Chain A
Amino acid sequence: MLDKVKPKHYFERNDEPAYARLPLYDAPQKNRYGQSIDLAVEHPELTGKSLNINGDVSISEHPNRYKQHGFYFNADNCISCHACESACSEKNNLPPYLAYRAVGYVEGGSWPNYTRLNISMACNHCDNPVCLKGCPTRAYTKFAEYGAVLQDPDICFGCGYCTWVCPYNAPQLDMKKGHVHKCNMCVDRLEAGLKPACASACLAGALDFGVIETMPENRMQLQTQIPGFPTPAITHPNIRFQQTKSLPREMTRPDAIPLRYERDDQSGTGYRTKLRDMQRDKQWNLKKLLSSHENAHIAFTLSSQMVMGAFVMLFISQLFGLTTLSTIMNGNSKIPLLAGMLAVLGFGLIKLNLHLGKPLRFYRGFNNLRYSPVSREIAGVSLFFTGLAVYSLFNLIELPFASQLAMAGGYVALAGAVIGSWYMYKLYRIPARPFWNHWQTATAFWGGSLTLGAGLLTFISCVVTGPDANHHLIQAMALVALIGSGMEAAGHLFHGRDMVRQGGEGAASWYDQTTTYGYSYYLRNGLLTINLFALGALALAVPATTPNVVTGSLLLTSILATAIISRALFYVLVIPTTMPGAFFWRNRGFQEHARETGLADMPQTGVLPNH
């Protein structure tokens, strides 16, 4: 019955059923976005090479090897049996706490007229792979072979930026291993003429795989969207859907994300993502707020923005002869100031580096200057740090040309600050993260630079020479901080308004901000208001007043606390435009609960405990 030829790979077999073999349907020349489906047309030089998978140098003869492939998901049929997810996890030896493919769902209606729509999702091997473009280390490659977007964990340094930019939650940051890994399209199976493990395992006629824009047998649609799936506009994902069965007007998701999906009566077919009031109580959650994985980013962004603000003000005042500020560099404050700036920036950089899964690979951060705002940010900040170091060094030593060299360092630092802060801002303008993707990120960052920079200059000067000696400086810096804080406040006002208006994930983040973190948020607003009044009083009072040590310290502390809470809220609140989870799996609410209660200490819970 079976011919006894020993298969080459462990997953090959002589009695392979037909459903698991790659189909040979005719595909159009171009996909709906105008992209050529045959990837060899524009890149003939890429053909005829081995993928070199696990040392296998052979090359598949499959006629569609250079055509863009993709998943086909028939939402009418999915029963959420988890076979696809499990086949994937088994094939890739994945630990229980992460998965390349996950099934979530949305549901709606009223018993017994109830509908649940399951969605199985992995990587969509997009035409425009934002992960690839975002990755600072160039760990990603989009191959001409099958159009697969593959990520190489051996290159990755574990910053997790790809997990931020991907709208589909496809790349997985493995906190235990310290790097990202993701769906690899089972290119080894494809090379053997077989569909990926997930599609071969489907038990309901839901998940399939083939050349993009081709329809499996017995199917009727090639849609690009279903409710719960983020807009394909961001990345042109290579997935097509069927969803013909009528759905309720409103669908909700079982996880803790306060979102619902409402039929768009204008378009008649699509669904709009809207806020769902989960009846949450107002809470503080300060501890949770200040103990997230993103703490390193809080430290890095705040400290680098503080130092950039301080330095740029100082340097410009020197250039333009603004003596109120530039005179600091002539007095006793000079050394503490330079040392302070370097120390604060160094602290931020160390925090940033240590948060990487693989800190020793930090140097790879510059690998993708061509595409990645992260690479450019790192380059800019590094340039700034270098310039600042040169500037400081030659300001401290007496040498011929020292002042010229210091100025040169200063210009370099200025350029670094401009580039670094611009890309620091740009990297958060992620379409898949609406809460960040707003100009408020700019006002928060640059406003923060002014406020914190002014604070740093004032603090060091006053510590060295006392408040009374810095009377004018305090007034000038109060004005700068007033402008900075004012920018921030204005940003917050518009941001809040726009998030609520926008609906969707942004509004959901806003909802969390005013409920789960409600009191912390009010505290931030209160402090910010106090800061504004106090700074206003200092900056605009005629005649000028000078705060004593106590009130001055209080104000500086308040400014710093405002900045930290603000930035922590910024990170913890973001809700990506990602797929809905299930009640346990990929439910942020349950993951937090499992960590808090210790359920996560059992590895089979599938939640990695806090370390």
Chain B
Amino acid sequence: MLFGRSRKNPVKLADKPVVEWKYTTCGYCSTGCSIEVGLDQNGEAITSRGVGGADVNRGKLCLKGIFEHELFRSAGRGRAPLMRNHYFESFKEADWDTALDKTADEIKRIQSTYGRDAFAIVSTGQIMTEEFYTLGKLARGVLGTNNYDGNTTLCMASAVSGYKRSFGSDGPPGCYDDFEHTECLLAIGSNLPEQHPIIFWRLKQALEKRRFPVIVVDPRVTMFAQMADIHLPITPGTDVVLLNSLMYVILNEGLADRAYIEAHTSGYDEFVKVVQEYDPVTASRICGIDEDTIRNVARTYAKAGAAMTIWTMGINQSTHGSDGVVGINNLNLITGNIGKPGGTSLSITGQCNAMGTREWSSCSGLPGYRYLEKEQDRAEIAKFWGIDPEFFPKQRGLFQTDIFPAIETGQIKGLWIVATNPLTSMPNTPRIRKTLEKLEFLVVQDAYADTETNEYSHVYLPAAIWAEKEGCFTNTERRVNLIRNVIKPYAESKPDLWIFNQIAKRFEQGQLINFPATTEAVFDELRILSKGRMLDYSGMSYAKIEAQRGIQWPCTEGAEQGSLRLYTDGVFQHADGKAKLIPLPFIDNNERPDDEYPFWLNTGRVVEHFHTRTRTGKVGNLNKFSPTPYMEMNPDAAAELGIKHGSYARLTSRRGDAVVMVQLTQRIAPNSVFIPFHFHECVNRVSLGLLDPWSRQPAFKQSAVKISPVSDQTAAAVRNKAARTF
């Protein structure tokens, strides 16, 4: 010691007596990080760390992953099933059999009284692939309701729809390795450092080795926008115009990859006609990006040897979400940037297993990217499950965002909600509240009993969380990764698979179909059903997945490894094997700011929270970074209204009002405000969420609001506090 004590005391640091590390995959976002959870000698989870040898995260974790082991014992977990006759009564604890019997009986009653489709299921992107497949089997094969969808309609539906329209199938064609090869990265509506910090780290690693232009399109000056070489602060909701104009420049300046267009695309002539309407001058007046910048970006992108586009909710959550995705695909098709290293349309997915539900849940059709609309697909699955193919509807039913209006108008009487929280996450929550009141029967299945939607349930089924179960997730780059069971389910909670199996048992048709008891046995069904298809799992096994720290599909039987990219041969999933170039006319149907409601309302995520905070709101070391909602507002706009930094302001829209704490910052335009969506009774009280015509995804990011100062700050603080039960 140089100073201080002459006698050295022993150094005491926090120590973690880990006796065993267990391998899992993170249960928050779709990055798909491999996590090891450290257990002490009592089997309690005491620490988490990124897996050093995992290709996705290479030893790193974002802050949510760092504290993920705390979820097992977090507040608000459901201890036992709960039941009541009316939502306005108190719950009583019940045993599992009683709760499951009640649920099955209510489903039977509603279906026999009002028809099979009168009972709807809204699921999630959070449970395991095997569970999704099993829920799909139950919904499509046993209950036979066609009103079955996931909350992925709020996040990835536009990407799915856009991929299907362009390439003939869902499935992100690229991977994180593309950062290592690309010569130009275009990010539209993706705040990568905040939403997907580990993917950002991968990008940053690539940039440390080799500089290439990064172009970020975002109305806010996010950290990503700041570090970009070019930032395009676009007018909200006009991405399609920008994309069309970029393509106008590329096509008219002879920068397109003619050979690729000829060989691998169809629909060029119709497509070009519409593109020609968006010369940069015309486009600049709509999208707010000047003509020269549009030309510069178009040339930079087209001249790069390989260029890639990533996007997230900035594209998906708009009235042109699906079109935006198609526009990105168009851009990459005409520049020959699909299926090659560094050239791709890579949708950065939202939830940990949004991909799993897209692949296997049967929400939008049948398992393994099969369609209800295709007779052959119906026949295959009916045969495999051992049921009559005529039991399946011949067309997909309602999307999540159409299920709620159907409850409102009485076509749907019963609802099963699995691991999602529409009372906070849906746009215009006052309407959702009234909708949920109308249900004859609502069953909520969730790891947390304090999820706000549970306010309206008749039966609550406590589910196990994350690594209290075993199974697989698929990440953004199609990597199937494994969650080993780390710890026993909390109290009386049960794995979702067990719950689905138990419900199935209670139906006659459910007894005809095999519902395997373990996820590994379910996984075998996936391998069989995917063999020879695009999403081929047949070469995977749990052991192999763990050893390789995840495998990217397709991984054909006998193959050592998975595949980095799709469409490397230029053959697409449309019947003609070609990708479609689709014309994208722009109709501005957004609720734009006007004299009465003069601000654009934009919503989004922050890095410390996930979804509706049912998890992150309980972990103090995450929640402390934003324990209460806030609104980013431009100081110049605030000065005109007399609104101060750190005070509460009132937000009014054509839907209702909310109070929110104001954070003044120049990161946001003077005519816009931004509010994170994670918080109950805040931004979604006023958001509109017009639906995309293709994906039925709500346009969370474009609506109009009025903002006024609040004179009684104490009352505003009380109102805000009342909504913060966690």
Enumerate chain A interface residues (CB-CB to B < 8 A): 1-2, 10-11, 13-17, 19-20, 39, 43, 46, 49, 51-55, 77, 79-83, 85-87, 89-97, 107-112, 114-116, 118, 129, 132-133, 138, 140-144, 147, 150, 152-155, 184, 186-188, 200-201, 203-205, 218, 254, 256, 278-279, 371, 582-585, 589-590, 593-594, 596-599, 602-607
Contacts and interface: CB of A to CB of B under 8 A. Distances in A.
B721 A90 contact: no
B14 interface: yes
Question: Which of A86, A144, A204, A582 has most chain B Cβ within 10 Å?
Answer: A86
Contact of B628 (A20, A115, A204, A599): A599
Contact of B2 (A46, A109, A254, A590): A46
A398 to B, nearest CB: 48
B550 to A, nearest CB: 14
B13 A187 contact: yes
29 contacts: A11-B49, A13-B49, A54-B10, A54-B13, A77-B204, A81-B62, A83-B61, A86-B66, A86-B621, A90-B621, A92-B14, A96-B623, A97-B620, A112-B231, A116-B221, A118-B223, A141-B1, A141-B8, A150-B11, A152-B12, A154-B12, A203-B60, A205-B204, A205-B208, A254-B663, A597-B718, A597-B720, A605-B628, A606-B620
Contacts of B47: 10, 90
Contacts of B60: 83, 201, 203
A189 to B, nearest CB: 9
Nearest to A589: B646
B63 A10 contact: no
Contact of A279 (B15, B644, B668, B724): B644
Interface string B524-537: 00000000000000
B67 interface: yes
Given A109-B666, A201-B60, 14 more contacts: A81-B200, A82-B607, A96-B620, A111-B669, A144-B2, A152-B9, A184-B11, A188-B11, A593-B717, A603-B620, A605-B627, A606-B624, A606-B627, A607-B627
Nearest to B54: A15
B201 to A, nearest CB: 4
B670 interface: yes
Given A82-B608, A278-B645, A96 B2 contact: no
B51 interface: yes
B626 A46 contact: no
A598 B223 contact: no
A238 to B, nearest CB: 13
A508 B717 CA distance: 26
A201 B66 contact: yes
A114 B666 contact: yes
A597 B624 contact: no
Contacts of B4: 132, 138, 140-142
B560 to A, nearest CB: 14
A1 B669 CA distance: 52
Given A39-B2, A46-B1, A90-B67, A2 B53 contact: yes
Contacts of B721: 597-599
Nearest to A200: B59
A86 B718 CA distance: 30
Nearest to A141: B4
A10 B9 contact: no
A17 to B, nearest CB: 4
B619 A604 contact: yes
In the complex, which range does the number of interface residues on chain B fall in?
Answer: 35 or more
Nearest to B231: A112
A16 B59 contact: yes
A54 B47 CA distance: 18
Contacts of B17: 10
A302 B527 CA distance: 80
A272 to B, nearest CB: 21
A350 to B, nearest CB: 29
Q: Which 10 A-B pairs have the closest CB atoms?
A: A606-B624, A96-B620, A141-B4, A15-B52, A86-B63, A15-B53, A604-B620, A79-B193, A112-B233, A10-B18
A607 B628 CA distance: 12
B197 interface: yes
Contact of A16 (B52, B226, B646): B52
B646 A256 contact: yes
Contacts of B224: 79
B66 A55 contact: no
Contacts of A594: 627
Given A54-B11, A89-B621, A144-B1, A584 B627 contact: yes
Interface string B633-675: 0101000000011100000000000000001011111100000
A95 B620 contact: yes
A205 B8 CA distance: 36
Given A81-B193, A152-B9, A204-B193, A111 B221 contact: yes
B618 interface: yes
Nearest to A206: B204
Contacts of A144: 1-2
B451 to A, nearest CB: 16
B617 interface: yes
Nearest to B639: A279
